[in-house]
Amino acid sequence: MRFNLILFACFFVSIWSSTAQSSWTIFRGNQQLSGMTSASLPEKPKLLCSFQTGDDIKASPVVDDQTIYCGSTDGSMYAVGFDGKQKWKFVSGNAIEAPALLLDGSVVFGTLDGMFFKLNAKTGKQIWKYKSDNQIEGSANWLKVGKQIRLVVGSYDYNLHCVGFAKGDSIWRYESDNYINGAPAIYGKYAVFGGCDGYVHLVNIETGKVFKKIKLDTYVASSPVIDGKHAYVGDYEGRFFCIDLEAGKVLWSYHEPDKNLPFIASPALSGDFIVIGNQDKFIYCLDKNTGKVVWKIKATNRVESSSVIAGGKVITGTMDGMLYIHDLKTGKELWKYELGSPIIGSPAVVSGKIVVGAGDGRIYVFG
């Protein structure tokens, strides 16, 4: 009996691991926005294919069921196969910079005119749309409350919106004091997000009420990563913070006094390592426990794209179109490829493939 239980557990873990490696259904890969996957990469990835959209791509692609979903500033959401062929295209009516969320056979995303859509992932047909009062730049996240799936998404109307997944109905709005750029991360029953008001907010997804507000030095353009009871996030003056969410206080911060350039990118976390790029052209690897620099590497240009950690390797894009792979522990450069057009969105990494969009309007697949 015990052997059967162990066998079942191993089988379950194997299935979960396989699923985790073959899909990237949310910005940063999971609800905690860790930007990490166990998927391995080839030593020297090659360009397998690309797909041309009608304008530049600022959104981060997501992947499920051998299909890439990515919005373009041409106003369309695209579903593209790993062969580089279009499966469907949905015209939203306005530019899409927000990453999509894939959930229960649906594609959910916002646009720069404040619309929030749910589409059928197989067909691209609209299921519902919801209107916020200003642009949506960040990805949605989700939590199941009772039998109801609730979506949370930030808007430039200062509000974090809670929307019913089934019908697209407004459940509550939580008003911050300024624009919300990034995606909320999930910590238990709380949505955790920063904004241009200079605070990190913890909002109860069941009630819409604030639990904690932690004041930082200036506004937060990126999304936090959650690890245990800690959140890690950078701000617009080049400071990077570790926050104790339960105590509601900053445990440590990292800052180079001679540099005050913004962290636009969101952090990636694996083990004790946090990796994040900055507009000062450096990619930083910090010890999550102390905030001390493990390594820092100067790239060829500003880094606004959020790095991804895959199997001990760090994938990062730059504003001059370089795509790098570095060793997580040492920072050693392992590979690079010149796309020649700005990379703003975060890569998706699945089944030995890297999927990334660029300023030339193309979605690229490496493997």
Give the whole-angstrom CA distance, residue 213 versus residue 216.
10
The answer to whether 236 and 219 have CB atoms below 8 angstroms apart is: yes
For the chain, percent of residues with pLDDT exceeding 90: 91
26-47 mean pLDDT: 95
What DSSP assignment string belongs to 231-260?
EEEE-TTS-EEEEETTTTEEEEEE--TT--
- Examine residue 193 and state whether it is found in any structural domain, yes or no: yes
Q: Which residue has the higher pLDDT, 150 or 260?
A: 150
What pLDDT shows up at residue 259?
82
pLDDT band at 3 (very low <50, low <70, confident <90, very high): very low
Among 340, 348, 341, 342, CA closest to 307: 348
Segment 216-232, tens digit of pLDDT: 978 999 999 999 999 99
What pLDDT shows up at residue 70?
98
What pLDDT shows up at residue 19?
40
Parent domain of 118: 25-366
pLDDT band at 300 (very low <50, low <70, confident <90, very high): very high
**Residue 204, domain CATH:** 2.130.10.10
305-320 mean pLDDT: 97
- Examine residue 1 and state whether it is found in any structural domain, yes or no: no
Number of domains in the chain: 1
Q: What is the residue whose two structure tokens read 């894939």? A: 102
The answer to whether 200 and 190 have CB atoms below 8 angstroms apart is: no
- Examine residue 311 and state whether it is found in any structural domain, yes or no: yes
Segment 132-190, tens digit of pLDDT: 999 999 999 999 999 999 999 999 999 999 999 999 999 999 999 999 999 999 999 99
- Examine residue 355 and state whether it is found in any structural domain, yes or no: yes
Strands 308-310 and 36-37: parallel
Question: What does the chain come to in residues?
Answer: 367
Q: Is the pLDDT of residue 350 over 90?
A: yes
- Examine residue 261 and state whether it is found in any structural domain, yes or no: yes
Mean of the per-residue pLDDT values of the chain: 93
Give the whole-angstrom CA distance, residue 176 versus residue 178.
6
Lowest mean pLDDT among 254-263, 281-290, 349-358: 254-263
For residue 168, give both structure tokens: 């697209």
Strands lying side by side in the sheet with 101-103: 101-103, 106-110, 115-120, 126-131
- Examine residue 82 and state whether it is found in any structural domain, yes or no: yes
- Examine residue 314 and state whether it is found in any structural domain, yes or no: yes
Sign of CA dihedral 173, 177, 178, 183: negative
Give the whole-angstrom CA distance, residue 28 versus residue 267.
9
295-317 mean pLDDT: 97
Element (H, E) at 15: helix 2-22
Spatial CB neighbours of 194, under 8 Å, sequence gap ≥ 6: 182, 200, 201, 216, 219, 220, 221, 222, 223, 224, 233, 235
For the chain, percent of residues with pLDDT exceeding 70: 95
Among 128, 139, 131, CA closest to 102: 139
- Examine residue 18 and state whether it is found in any structural domain, yes or no: no
pLDDT band at 22 (very low <50, low <70, confident <90, very high): confident
Q: Is the pLDDT of residue 18 over 90?
A: no
Segment 80-136, tens digit of pLDDT: 999 999 999 999 999 999 999 999 999 999 999 999 999 999 999 999 999 999 999
Q: Is the pLDDT of residue 78 over 90?
A: yes
Strands lying side by side in the sheet with 86-91: 62-64, 67-71, 76-81, 86-91
The answer to whether 323 and 316 have CB atoms below 8 angstroms apart is: yes
pLDDT band at 8 (very low <50, low <70, confident <90, very high): very low
For residue 235, give both structure tokens: 């701000």
Q: Is the pLDDT of residue 2 over 70?
A: no
